[in-house]
Each structure stands twice: as C-alpha cells, then as structure tokens.
A and B are shown apart, each in its own frame.
Chain A
Amino acid sequence: MASISLSNIHKFYPNGYAAVRDVSLDIKDGEFMILLGPSGCGKSTTLRMIAGLETISKGDLHIGGARMNDIDPADRDVAIVFQNYALYPHMTVIDNLSFGLRLRGVGRSIIDQRVANIADMLGIGELLSRKPAQLSGGQRQRVALGRALVREPKAFLLDEPLSNLDAKLRSAMRTELIKLHRTLGTTIVHVTHDQVEAMTMGERICIMKDGVIVQVGAPMEVYRNPVNTFVAGFLASPPMNLLRGRLSAQSLSLDGTVLALPPALGQAFADHAERDVIAGMRPEDFHLKADAAASTVPVEVHAVTTEVLGPEVILVATVSGEQGAEIHIRCPRDFRAKPGEIVIFHYDVSQLQLFDPETTYALKRPVQI
C-alpha cells in the first residue's frame, strides 16, 4: 500500500505532442481515485507514467514517498490493467494470471490459491486452460483484471477495466471492486468513461481535459459544484443544462423566461448583477409540483420529445418558446408529454449554478442556502 503523488508532471511524446501538462495530484494511501475525461485527454498516458511504461518528461512522481521517475516498472510494485488488455497470447488463462507471481518467486501453493480465488471472483474459473484468442472481449478483460488483482501490489492502476462488459456483469464487477478495495485497502487509480462508475466507485474524482486536470474532488462535491461548464456538461447523464442568460438584482432572465431569485440567492450573486451568465440547471431539479420549502419557481417549457428509460422519463424540451434552447428534464416514470405540448415545471432555484460566459468558470455561489 502506498500513496501516489504527481507533482507538475508533463508528458511530451516524441512527436512533440504534449499529452499531459502540469498535472499535480496527491492520491492518498488506500484511496480509490477515479480519472475521468473525454477520449484523448491523457488518462492512459498519466496511468502509464505512474506504471513506468512512459517516461516522465518533466515533474516528479512519488510512490509511497519514494521518487519513482527513474525506477523500473518491475520495481514499482504496481499492477496495471491495460486498456487493450495486453494478455500474453501464447499462455493459457491460468499462466497469464500466475506469470507475475511466478516471476516473483511466490510459492506454488500460494499461487494456486490466489489464482483460484480471483478466478472465482471474476467468474473465469472455466476458462483457465484456454488461450486469449479463444476468449470473448469481456472474458479477456476479466482475465486482464484478474492478472492485476492476483499480484496484490502496492497500487492498482486500472485503465477502463470494465468497459467491455455487459451491463449486468459490469455492475457486478463494480461491486466486487469496491468490496475488494474495502478488504485489501490498496490504493486504486481507476480510469473510466462511465458516469456510474465515476460517481459510485471512487472516493475522489479527478476530471481531466486536454492533458490538464480541471477539477478534483469527492463525487458529490464535483457534482454539486462543478468548477466550470466543462465539468458541468461532462459529469452525469444527462448532464447539467447550460443556458445563456442575464442576471439582474433579483432575477435571472433566460431569453424571455424570467426566473425570480429568492432574496438570499440574489444577495449571494449581487456582485455579478447586470451581466451575462451561463445558467447551469441539473435535469433533476425540475419538479412537476411546486414545493414551498425548496424555493421553486415556475418554468414553462415546450416538449420536443421524451425518452422513456423505465425508472424515469427524460423530457427534451425548449425554454422560451419553440425556438428556444433545448434542455433535458428528469421526470417520474409515468410522465408523458406530446411534442409541442406546454408543460409547467417548478425549478428549484436553490440548486442554480452560474458560470462566467467568458472564462466558463463558476461564479462564486453560497454553498448552503
């Protein structure tokens, strides 16, 4: 077990491309850290630098307090699950799983026991004598995960380890990983695209974009207080609605629709009165009934279409007339609306987020109202 600390880390690929720029991140001993970001933002590169498979162009990497920049991957005692699995093609599943242990001279009986445990947990017990070419994508991915888990290293680096599993298996594996983290207490860095994984698995989320870190924080903290419109628009699905508007002393006007702000909120944003803003409104903060306690204001929308998901219905609608900006609203599962129909929602303004349209960063806002 070990902490992992990245200080001002840069990665320049030989072609001059700066894949990671000035990344600083302190991952605590035993922490479950999520790396989240769009494709090509440098997540894998960061992970591979921690593992030692890419050189660090600039900056310092410490694992367990020791500087690791020039240490061989073998001596860092971390295990990685590769995005492309990287199984040993000529070895059977059982040899793939046990290779690292055999190299480290672990005893036969311990190897057998650990491999059996992991194979059982991942449901690959029946595949042990097969070669990777004889496995499906999801099975390969589980073997790749197993190969890392069986090692019991100081830290796990998981590069989208569940991306290729079906929904049911993925949710089961999610739970297994969380349980495993709880029992082993090993530091885990987990790269993912999956919103649910990001929100449910990690103790903290690190959101990256274009090679830099945008925001780091506990899932709910990042969810509640996205630092900029990128994070707001990236986290959760459907993400936060972002609408251009103008703030005045006691109200927010969104292209014709005027939302009255409760005095407390108006006060909080007083510094920014009379300026253009981007309003961030979460889809789940629109309610069908007014709620006096939750300071709701009515908003009139034109239904465009509905996506019936089962447990809920996502309404796509426009505000301020049929030509207005589109927003997504999370509705109860029995909600129905015809295209063009006008629906009145009650928006909980206490959840409103405001962003500066120029910098895209969030305007100062009271945390509790």
Chain B
Amino acid sequence: MTIAADDRRLNNMPRTEQTAVERRDRMFGWLIASPSLGLLFLVILFPVFWALYTSVHDYTLIAPNFDTFNGIDNYTKALGDPEFRHTLWLTAFFVAAVVLLEFALGFLVALMLNSVERFKAIYYAILLCPLLMNPVIVGLIWRMFLHPSLGIVNYLLSLVGIDPVNWLGSTKVALWTIVMVDIWHQVSFMIVLLLAGLSALPREPYEAARVDGASALRSFWHITLPLMLPVIAVTLLIRLIFAVKTYDLVYIMTRGGPGVATDLVSYFIYRTAFVGLNIGEASAMSAILLAVIMGLTVWLHRYMRSLT
C-alpha cells in the first residue's frame, strides 16, 4: 500500500502556483464572458440594487425621490401588514400545489412516454403546444372557457348533469381554478425535462436489476429515482421559482379576487407599487420575496444534494 500512501501525500501537498497556461486560459475565459456579464449586470444586478436602494427610502410615485431615508420602516410595515402576510401564505400554498401536482402528473406522463416506441415526436409536439403560448393568452382563453354562463366548460358539465360552477367568482374555487390552468399550461415543462432525464438513463443497470430479481416497481424505486434525483432537483427548482412569480394568470383571470382569494404576492406587489403608488414599500416586499426564494432554492438544492 505504499503507492496509496504516496497518493495521499501528493493530495495533501499545498496547491501549486498556477501555470502560465492556466492563467492564460482563465484570462481568455473572462474575455469571452465579459460582454454577457456586462449585459447581465445592466439588466439584472442594476435593477436589483436600485430596488434595494428604493426599499430603504420613502419613495412614492407622488414624491418620486430619495429625499427621505427611512431605514427598515418599509420592511416592518410590509411584514406587519396582514394583507401582505396573507398573500405570502396564499402564494406558498399555490406554489406547493402547482409544483407537487405538476411534478406528480409530469413524472407519470414522462414515464409512460419513455416506454413509448412509436410516434414519440408527435407526442412531443402536442405537449409543447401549451408551453409555446403566452400566459396572457392562456388566461384569456381559459377565462372564456370558464365563463359561468357562456363558457364551454360549464356547458359540457351541464351535458352530464353537473350544475354550473362559478370557476373564477367563488372564493372557494378561484384559487384551485388558477392552479388547474397553471397545470394545464406548465405541466409539459415538467414532462419534457423529466423525459429528457429518463431517456438519458443508462440501460444496463436495469438489466442487472432484472437478473438480481427486482420488480418493475423496485427498479423504479432503487434505480430510476436515485439516478433521476439531479434532474428532479433542477426541474423542481426551476418550476418553483417560476411559480412564485405567477402574475399574468391572476392579472388576466381574477385580478386577485374575488376579494383576496387569489391575491398572489407578485400581483399584490404590483398593486402596491402602481395602484397604491408606494414604490418604496413595494420594493421592500420584493426584497423579502427575493430573500425567501433564495432561501428556498438553497435549501432545496442542499436537500437534494444530501439525498444523492
């Protein structure tokens, strides 16, 4: 075992200086990346810092200036506002519902499609259709479909003897209606990503498992799931972040109503800023939301890492 010992000693040696080649490669990397980095800075980092700066000032559209610094006032006010807290909880519920339902449904469909041999391209094309639509259009279409008296959905339900449902006007139903439309719109995203992951899985371990005596269910549990974890993690993360930002559907279909039944946080922040004209407080809310999303992302990433 002298060779192994040598290896260990080598690994423990202090990191050597960068060679000239490494340094040149690094410089070249920065050079190539700099235009897009600059653009990113301009369109992402700058607005973020501007919003953070605004969030500690009394900045309204009536008095749009940075004259009054008010520290964390905007933050305490936002967090103390029961309506803001309500939208946070509502958004958490909405996000959990769409992400979990879309994941379950998406994984199921992806697994089925993965074992399909023929016409795969056609299924793909059909699946991609909703994804290609603008959310505003999705909202408009569904608003028409779901119209209490003129919509096709209630008409179809009446054919099988179900009473008309007030899809968007009932406080009990409206949020679930948004969830349903979001699933219709976004589930293909899950399917496509998960399907790509599934079709990239190696075939051999499954053969080994069959000979080792694993049923289809156990192969799924012991091989597919663990091997898919990285893909699942990324898919969930992306969906989660996008779901938190949901705004268009609410704007088009319910305007946060009835009452505050569908008042998701993005829509509420928009209202605070451009209806309530209070940019400072809206910026504070955005900062809080950003912190929550970042926290969630880090946690999910860590958690998924710990599983693999």
Contacts and interface: CB of A to CB of B under 8 A. Distances in A.
B8 to A, nearest CB: 13
Contacts of A73: 210-211
Nearest to B308: A90
A142 interface: no
A51 B205 contact: no
A80 interface: yes
A255 B223 CA distance: 64
A74 B214 contact: yes
A255 B209 CA distance: 59
Interface in A34-55: 51-53
B14 interface: no
Query: Which residue, A73, A74, A88, A104, has most C-beta atoms of chain B within 10 A?
Result: A88
Given A103-B218, A151-B212, A88 B223 contact: yes
Contacts of A80: 208, 211
A8 interface: no
Interface in A82-107: 82, 84-91, 99-100, 103-104
B211 A52 contact: yes
Contacts of A90: 223, 226-227, 308
A79 B209 CA distance: 11
Contacts of A104: 213
B202 interface: yes
Given A99-B222, A103-B218, A87 B205 contact: yes
A103 B227 contact: no
Interface string B284-295: 000000000000
B-side binding surface: helix, strand, loop or mixed? helix
A53 B211 contact: yes
A45 to B, nearest CB: 13
In the complex, which range does the number of interface residues on chain A fall in? Answer: 20 to 34
Contacts of A78: 211
Given A88-B223, A99-B212, A99-B222, A82 B207 contact: yes
Nearest to B213: A74
Smallest CB-CB A-B distances: 10 pairs = A86-B204, A100-B212, A74-B213, A86-B208, A73-B210, A90-B226, A103-B213, A73-B211, A88-B205, A53-B207
B199 interface: no
A287 interface: no
Interface in A260-280: none
A147 B210 contact: no
B65 interface: no
Contacts of A85: 204
Contact of A89 (B205, B209, B222): B205
Contact of A87 (B208, B211, B227, B308): B208
Nearest to A48: B207
6 contacts: A73-B210, A86-B205, A88-B205, A90-B227, A99-B209, A100-B212
Interface in B133-187: none
Contact of A82 (B204, B223, B226): B204
B70 interface: no
A74 B215 contact: yes
* Interface hub of A52, A53, A87, A99 (most chain B Cβ within 10 A): A99
B1 to A, nearest CB: 9
A84 B204 contact: yes
B308 A74 contact: no
Contacts of A53: 207, 210-211
A151 B222 CA distance: 18
A82 B208 contact: yes
Contacts of B213: 74, 100, 103-104
Interface in A297-314: none
B297 to A, nearest CB: 24
A51 B212 CA distance: 11
Contacts of B212: 74, 99-100, 103, 147, 151
A72 interface: yes
Given A73-B210, A99-B209, A99-B222, 7 more contacts: A52-B211, A79-B211, A80-B211, A84-B204, A89-B202, A89-B205, A90-B223
A103 B217 CA distance: 12
Interface in B190-240: 202, 204-205, 207-215, 218, 222-223, 226-227
